Amino acid sequence: MQKLRSKLGFICDMDGVIYHGNTLLKGVKEFVDWLYANNKRFLFLTNNSQKSPKELQQKLARMGLTVPEHNFYTSALATASFLKSQGGNTAYVIGDAGLTNALYEVGITLNDVDPDYVVIGETENYNFESIKKATALVNRGALLIGTNSDITNPTEHGEVPACKALVAPVEYATGKKAYYVGKPNPLMMRAAMERFHAKGIHSADVAMIGDRMDTDMIAAIESGLDPILVLSGVSTRDSVKKFPYRPRLILNGVGDICDGD
């Protein structure tokens, strides 16, 4: 555990690591206090595209945590950056405000007639009409993008469908595979690490803390970060055994980091 505590930087997933829905997880406040007390650099990195960094800041504030807006990075921001780099101008979006606002901020406008892209992220407004529209547009040539490849998200009421589950009907109906931007895509991880490189902190000095083997841990391993799995989200000790790679440490939650050995 001392090796983990000596890291200069921490990248933390949010769903299943910091909270379930609107419920702060045990030990999180103590962990955040420990980060500040030990002058650690940290970034909350989420595949969920629904909320903007400002909204995430406000959400944590309602839970009693003070975290600056610049300490958040989302798959919505990564998706917007990717589409801008590809020369995209228009998109048909199935998603919430965090995604549409990120696209607007880089100059990508919404278009449900002849868009360059169909972009799908998590949303509370998923319906058959939007699936039909997305299918028709992809069949007419729009390129299919998923903000992330998570199949489910943990909430205080149990697991709910996430982005990849929402994209799947359009993939099956069109025969076209989506390109997923969020973790474990290196695009997302490089954008995150740029925040640390600016402070002179490199991959070997950064721990990635997440609850998913298929996104968080593989992203950490492939990016040269210290892979730390917590069991406060979707993973169990038994489910870890199904994967051909391993985290360096398995913890009950982030509170273990500051609780002692």
Show which residues are catalytic.
Answer: 13, 15
Q: Which amino acid is at 91?
A: A
Alpha helices in the chain (DSSP H): 2-5, 28-37, 53-62, 75-85, 97-105, 128-139, 163-174, 186-197, 218-222, 237-240, 255-259
The Cα 110–Cα 65 span in angstroms is: 34
Cis amide leading into 184 (omega within 30)? yes
In terms of Cβ atoms closer than 10 Å to its own Cβ (0-12, 13-18, 19+), residue 168 is middle
**Long-range pairs for 158-161 at CB < 8 Å and ≥24 separation?**
159/234
